[in-house]
C-alpha cells in the first residue's frame, strides 16, 4: 500500500510532458514571427528601392531627348538598392511623368519583385511584392 501512494504522489517527468506539449506551439509561433519579419523586411526594402529610383529620376528633371538615359539611371539606382538583398526585379520599372492638381510635373515609379520565403511553412512559393513611389520633378 505504501508503494502505491508513493507512485501516485510522484511528479517525476511532469515537466518533460508539459514541455513536449508546449514545444510545437512555441516553435510554430517563433517560425511565424520569423516568416512575417522576412516578408516585412522585403516590403520595406522594395519600398526604399523604388523611392530611391523615383528620387534619382525626379532629380534629373524632364527632357524628352534624354528620357531613356534618365530612366536607365533611375533603374540602376533601384538595382543597387535591391543588390544587398535576395530580391530579384521581375518587371523592369515603369516611369510615368504627368501633372498633378497643382500643375507641377510628377514622376511615378512602379516595380514588381519576387521574394522567396525564409522558411516556407506559412508562406509557400515565391511571393510578388510591388513598390510604388511618386515624386515632384525638380
Mean pLDDT (the chain) is: 86
Nearest to residue 124, comparing CAs of 35, 10, 42? Answer: 35
What is the value of pTM for the model shown? Answer: 0.80
pLDDT value at residue 32: 93
94 in a domain, yes or no?
Answer: yes
Residue whose entry in the numeric block shows the C-alpha cell 518587371:
91
pLDDT beyond 90 at 27: yes
92 in a domain, yes or no?
Answer: yes
3 in a domain, yes or no?
Answer: no
pLDDT beyond 80 at 63: no
Please state the domain count of the chain: 1
b/e map 43-69, b = 16+ CB within 10 Å: bebbbbbbbbbbbbbbebeeeeeeeee
18 or 6: which leads in pLDDT: 18
Range of the domain at 36: 13-136
Mean pLDDT along residues 116-127:
87
6 in a domain, yes or no?
Answer: no
Amino acid at each position: 500500500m505504501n508503494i502505491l501512494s508513493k507512485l501516485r504522489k510522484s511528479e517525476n517527468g511532469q515537466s518533460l510532458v508539459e514541455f513536449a506539449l508546449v514545444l510545437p506551439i512555441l516553435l510554430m509561433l517563433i517560425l511565424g514571427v520569423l516568416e512575417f519579419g522576412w516578408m516585412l523586411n522585403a516590403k520595406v526594402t522594395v519600398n526604399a528601392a523604388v523611392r530611391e529610383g523615383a528620387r534619382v529620376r525626379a532629380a534629373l528633371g524632364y527632357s524628352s531627348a534624354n528620357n531613356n538615359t534618365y530612366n536607365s539611371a533611375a533603374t540602376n539606382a533601384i538595382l543597387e538598392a535591391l543588390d544587398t538583398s535576395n530580391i530579384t526585379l521581375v518587371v523592369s520599372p515603369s516611369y510615368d511623368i504627368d501633372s498633378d492638381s497643382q500643375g507641377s510635373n510628377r514622376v511615378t515609379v512602379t516595380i514588381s519583385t519576387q521574394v522567396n520565403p525564409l522558411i516556407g511553412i506559412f508562406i509557400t512559393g515565391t511571393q510578388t511584392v510591388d513598390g510604388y513611389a511618386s515624386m515632384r520633378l525638380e
